[in-house]
Homo-oligomer: A and B are copies of this chain.
Amino acid sequence: MENSVVMKFGGSSVETIEKMQKIAKRIIKKKETFKNVVVVVSAMGKTTNQLLEMAKQAAKYPSKREIDLLISTGEQVSIALLTMILNENDFEAVALTGFQAGIKTGGLHTKNKILDIDTTNIEKHLNQGKIAVVAGFQGLNDAGDITTLGRGGSDTTAVAIAAKLGCSAEIYTDVDGIYGVDPRLYPNAKKLDIISYEEMKEMAFLGAKVMEPRSIEIGHRYQVPIYVQSSIHEIEGTLIKEYTKVEEKSVTGLSISEKVMMVTIKNYPSYATDIAKLFIALAENEVNVDMISQTPTEIGFINLSFTAGADDLEAVDEVIEHIMSQYQNVEAVKNINVVKVSVVGTGMRTQSGVAAQLFKLLADNGIDFMLVTTSEISISYTIDKKLMKRAVEVISEKFGL
């Protein structure tokens, strides 16, 4: 649709009626510039967590279909209230739940993916001059069940609607844009005007929490310009788009994952079946293994290290205990005092020597690293938690982040 825009507001922007009244003003202002305005909102503040808490009280293993039904009420409440506020301000608006907005999903309950959006209903209301206020994070599957999209679901809803309407998505959030490195960790951090989909995705995967990788992936595929900006202050944010710099910086961003645990298993059999057994057990216990590294010790045995989320401690313990009961001499060491530092830049693809520069930089500054993994456009290290601040400073300074 010509002259359209999708605005997305997260939970903290719609935490209270007062905050909704503030964003209503921004929406109304936007409606003066754009003919068609679609607004996607999340549940108010911590509502989703409160609902999940109720589910836990109801059942030890609450059925996932019903979890979706339960938590989808969160956005239903916020779209209804925000629409009332817009209507009260004489701007005709209509609240649409996921199924009313034509959002078709598939997959596992609580982790659905958007398969398609039938925007007929949204467009009908837009053509009547109304602001369409759509519930983020939810949809309907083929069986007619209400579903939710998992983490970052509202961003995904917003970008997917923008893709279907052929317009841009504006993501209003509690940070004021994308930074090369988290300003809370490095106060001199510079805000980026533009970042490419690819770099943004990599940073998101590596732990930068501004946006979920899935929504950027959809933006990338359908070339939806995504503008990330503050929901509070009216200042310039960061545009995520297809973007090739004339002369690329080798490193664009630095991201830190603090909630990391590193596990080292010594004297483990080196046969592929044994190694597979370990990682299958971890997967079955829903441990999200991130970095993996292994080195041979004596013939037939290896030392093996991996990282996982610190939240998975209990599940990891269970797996290790089980494994150790099956093999003799196997030793396991857990280290929860580590962080993962990741350096990202599409420039790494064409400029060699970035890894070498980084190794030297860390060595010169006495920062030992434990595990290293690399992708085409990133390098990640686990280092001791105590060295995090120093590492962030020297890398940010060196690469001007």
Contact = CB atoms under 8 A, between A and B. Distances in A.
Interface of A: 17, 20, 51, 54-55, 57-63, 65-67, 69-70, 72-73, 76-77, 79-85, 87-88, 94-95, 97, 99-100, 121, 144-146
A115 B358 CA distance: 70
A contact face: mostly helix, strand, loop, or mixed: helix
13 contacts: A20-B58, A55-B80, A58-B81, A58-B84, A58-B88, A59-B88, A65-B94, A65-B95, A66-B81, A69-B95, A70-B76, A100-B146, A121-B144
Contacts of A94: 65
A139 to B, nearest CB: 14
Contacts of A17: 54, 57-58
A31 to B, nearest CB: 17
B63 A87 contact: yes
Copies of this chain, whole number: 2
Given A17-B58, A58-B20, A100-B144, A63 B83 contact: yes
Contacts of A54: 17, 77, 81
Nearest to A24: B58
A17 to B, nearest CB: 5
A190 to B, nearest CB: 39
Given A54-B17, A73-B73, A66 B83 contact: yes
Given A17-B57, A58-B17, A76-B73, A66 B51 contact: no
Nearest to A76: B73
Nearest to A94: B65
Nearest to A62: B84
B76 A69 contact: yes
